[in-house]
């Protein structure tokens, strides 16, 4: 799996579909929107919520160009879903952007692109991970003679296992994204083979 080639292919696909959808809508993408599409910021501006310590709110202006790109991506995605519902091109692009941590995933996410349903065992894994701190607190609160060494051992073991669960879940998510990318690639080959 070549992540750079996958990223280039996904970027090319999404930008071309957004540009095609803009042309179909009768209002092509202007220069600012084109520059924004090819150079998305890594972080979106945060919304300021006024608090009691700061009475003068600074409003964040709407980014009309970004909103239009999101709307064009959504229209292109829905149009492609209507024409060819079994195509996994958009899901492939979202998986590649998510794996590469590319800011384009936000546009696809706002367009409503979904990758896949998580397996049932993922939900079980989350439940076990959530129950572990509860079990650790019960062990800590359990009546009985405890030495400082035992308290420290239980606390360190709890923190170590929680960190292990966190890093294992990140690795599982990365593995699932890579598998989904391969599934989309195989599906694309099968569709092109059937049509040729």
pLDDT of residue 193: 42
* Residue 48 pLDDT: 47
Alpha helices in 25-102, H assignment, sequence order: 31-38, 64-83, 89-100
Q: Say which DSSP state 179 is in.
A: H
- Contact call for residues 45 and 82 (beta carbons, < 8 A): no
pLDDT of residue 1: 61
Across 78-87, 112-121, 134-143, the highest mean pLDDT is recorded for 78-87
Beta carbons within 8 Å of 185's beta carbon, 6+ residues apart: 92
With contact defined as beta carbons under 8 Å apart, do 100 and 65 qualify? Answer: no
Q: Quick one: pLDDT at residue 60? A: 61
- Per-residue pLDDT tens for 71-89? 999 999 999 889 888 888 8
pLDDT single digits (tens) 148-161: 777 777 778 878 88
């Amino acid at each position: 799996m070549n992540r750079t080639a996958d990223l280039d292919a996904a970027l090319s696909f999404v930008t071309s579909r957004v540009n095609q959808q803009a042309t179909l809508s009768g209002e092509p993408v202007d220069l600012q929107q084109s520059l924004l599409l090819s150079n998305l910021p890594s972080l979106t501006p945060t919304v300021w919520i006024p608090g009691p310590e700061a009475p003068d709110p600074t409003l964040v202006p709407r980014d009309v160009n970004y909103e239009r790109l999101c709307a064009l991506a959504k229209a292109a995605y829905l149009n492609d879903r209507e024409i060819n519902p079994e195509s996994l091109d958009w899901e492939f692009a979202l998986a590649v952007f998510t794996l590469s941590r590319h800011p384009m995933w936000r546009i696809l996410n706002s367009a409503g692109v979904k990758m896949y349903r998580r397996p049932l065992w993922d939900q079980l894994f989350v439940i076990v991970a959530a129950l572990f701190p509860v079990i650790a607190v019960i062990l800590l609160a359990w009546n009985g003679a405890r030495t400082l060494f035992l308290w420290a051992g239980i606390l360190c073991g709890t923190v170590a296992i929680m960190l292990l669960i966190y890093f294992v879940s990140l690795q599982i998510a990365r593995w699932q994204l890579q598998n989904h990318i391969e599934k989309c690639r195989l599906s694309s080959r099968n569709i092109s083979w059937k049509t040729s």
